[in-house]
Amino acid sequence: MKPDSSEWRSSQAYDFISNVTPDALAWEFLRRNPAYQREFADMQKINAMPNPLPPNELPSQWGLRFSSKS
């Protein structure tokens, strides 16, 4: 079965991918993940409470790493 390419966008829309770092590309996929979006929204609600969860819980579950600010 041949894929229906009538709905595909121009390849120019994806030219930026050639110039992004692996971390940036991974973030593009993760931020579009519906499960991640739901969990992030839930964590925002929890962190608005008086006793929020530790900030590392969500990032470690999704494999996120943040550089320390010095």
For the whole model, what pTM was predicted?
Answer: 0.53
Question: How many of the other CB atoms lie within 10 Å of CB of 51?
Answer: 6
Q: What is the pLDDT of residue 14?
A: 74
Q: How far is CA 64 from the centre of its chain?
A: 9
Whether the per-residue pLDDT at 1 is higher than 60: the answer is no
Whether the per-residue pLDDT at 12 is higher than 80: the answer is no
Whole-number Å distance between alpha carbons of 3 and 63: 33
pLDDT in tens, 37-69: 888 888 778 767 666 555 555 666 777 666 665
- Which of 68, 70, 52, 63 is closest to 22 using CA atoms? 63
How open is the CA angle 61-64-70, to the nearest 5 degrees? 130
Q: What is the pLDDT of residue 24?
A: 86
Q: Are 47 and 53 in contact (CB under 8 A)?
A: yes
